[in-house]
């Protein structure tokens, strides 16, 4: 019996944040159950027992312990299975810097990048046209975000310091989506940001997962 079940969806950036964490930790003893977002399965009573807001991802253990929200799930799994992706609790300053970097990613980056993903990617599956004004505004915010992040990355290798941590993983799915939507230049045109991105995606476990997902997404697209 697998250690736990991850309820997620194909192409869900929030699910992929957790899968990348598990891949980087070398952990495979889990079951991935796909919730079909296009069919609205996330709003079923069964899924709402796991995620009261009717979303994915969520994880459940055989003792019924359940968690939703991708970042707390990543953090819990990294602690439970001792993935070397967090500063030690005893290092109070490094932990505070990690928390700071986590807040920055979620509030200053993921918010506008998520709007771009919704307009350019999710709406396509809903058969709705993108709102160009929303995209323009969100792109400006993401550009400004990386102007600042780029300056900081001239002084350190990763988002929360000189070690690769969960925070770097948190960025990967939405940056991948920016590339897929044709906005990769936001990353590649900024030297320090581009070097950081290369350091992240060239990690063997991450490279393997992204390559396998590309094949799976292409195959899923062909079945549509
Ligand atoms: N803050 C949540 C976001 C969860 C979320 O928005 N999930 C999307 C999929 S990536 C979803 O379930 N969308 C379907 C819906 O909202 O009905 C997290 O980090 O897990």
Q: What is the pLDDT along the chain (224 residues), one digit of tens a residue?
A: 999 999 999 999 999 999 999 999 999 999 999 999 999 999 999 999 999 999 999 999 999 999 999 999 999 999 999 999 999 999 999 999 999 999 999 999 999 999 999 999 999 989 999 999 999 999 999 999 999 999 999 999 999 999 999 999 999 999 999 999 999 999 999 999 999 999 999 999 999 999 999 888 888 775 54
Residue closest by Cα to atom 9 of ligand 1: 12
Q: Is there a single domain that holds both residue 76 and residue 111? A: no
Give the span between the Cα atoms of 78 and 93, in whole angstroms.
19
**Predicted local confidence at residue 224, as pLDDT:** 43
* Residue 14, domain extent: 4-80
Whether ligand 1 lies within 6 angstroms of the CB of 12 is answered as yes
Written as six digits, the tokens of 1 are 């019996």
Task: Examine residue 85 and state whether it is found in any structural domain, yes or no.
Answer: no
Q: Is there a single domain that holds both residue 138 and residue 217? A: yes
Q: Is there a single domain that holds both residue 65 and residue 128? A: no
- Say how many residues make up the chain: 224
Whether ligand 1 lies within 6 angstroms of the CB of 47 is answered as no
Q: How far is CA 166 from CA 47, 154, 181, 183, in A?
A: 26, 20, 24, 24
Q: What SS3 class is residue 30? A: strand
Residue closest by Cα to atom 13 of ligand 1: 55
**Predicted local confidence at residue 188, as pLDDT:** 98
Residue closest by Cα to atom 17 of ligand 1: 55
Compute, in angstroms, the gap from residue 69 CA to the centroid of ligand 1: 8
Ligand 1 atom closest to 68 (CA): 20
Task: Examine residue 212 and state whether it is found in any structural domain, yes or no.
Answer: yes
Compute, in angstroms, the gap from residue 60 CA to the centroid of ligand 1: 17
Whether ligand 1 lies within 6 angstroms of the CB of 69 is answered as yes
Give the span between the Cα atoms of 145 and 140, in whole angstroms.
9
Give the span between the Cα atoms of 19 and 13, in whole angstroms.
10
- Give the CATH number for residue 106: 1.20.1050.10
Q: Is there a single domain that holds both residue 75 and residue 96? A: no
- Give the CATH number for residue 67: 3.40.30.10
Ligand 1 atom closest to 9 (CA): 9
Whether ligand 1 lies within 6 angstroms of the CB of 75 is answered as no
Residue found under tokens 């920016």: 178
Mutating to test ligand 1, I would choose from 56, 71, 111, 176 the residue with most ligand atoms within 8 A of its C-beta, which is 56
Q: Is there a single domain that holds both residue 51 and residue 72? A: yes
Q: Is there a single domain that holds both residue 68 and residue 96? A: no
Compute, in angstroms, the gap from residue 76 CA to the centroid of ligand 1: 18
Residue closest by Cα to atom 6 of ligand 1: 55
**How big is the chain by its Cα radius of gyration, in Å?**
17
Q: Tell which of 50, 80, 110 closes a domain.
A: 80
**Predicted local confidence at residue 90, as pLDDT:** 97
Compute, in angstroms, the gap from residue 55 CA to the centroid of ligand 1: 5
Q: Is there a single domain that holds both residue 146 and residue 177? A: yes
């Amino acid at each position: 019996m697998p250690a736990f079940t991850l309820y997620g969806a194909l192409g869900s950036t929030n699910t992929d944040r957790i899968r990348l964490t598990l891949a980087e930790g070398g952990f495979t003893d889990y079951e991935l159950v796909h919730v079909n977002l296009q069919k609205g399965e996330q709003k079923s009573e069964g899924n709402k027992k796991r995620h009261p807001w009717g979303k994915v991802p969520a994880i459940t253990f055989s003792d019924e312990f359940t968690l939703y929200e991708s970042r707390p799930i990543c953090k819990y799994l990294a602690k439970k299975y001792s993935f070397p992706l967090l500063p030690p609790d005893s290092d109070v300053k490094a932990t505070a810097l990690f928390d700071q970097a986590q807040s920055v990613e979620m509030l200053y980056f993921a918010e506008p990048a998520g709007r771009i993903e919704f307009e350019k990617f999710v709406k396509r599956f809903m058969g709705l046209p993108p709102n160009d004004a929303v995209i323009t505004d969100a792109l400006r915010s993401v550009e400004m975000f990386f102007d600042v992040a780029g300056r900081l990355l001239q002084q350190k290798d990763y988002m929360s310091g000189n070690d690769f941590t969960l925070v770097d993983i948190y960025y990967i799915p939405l940056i991948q989506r920016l590339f897929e939507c044709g906005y990769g230049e936001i990353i590649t045109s900024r030297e320090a940001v581009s070097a950081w991105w290369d350091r992240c995606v060239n990690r063997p476990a991450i490279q393997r997962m992204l390559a396998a997902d590309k094949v799976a997404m292409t195959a899923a697209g062909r079945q549509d």
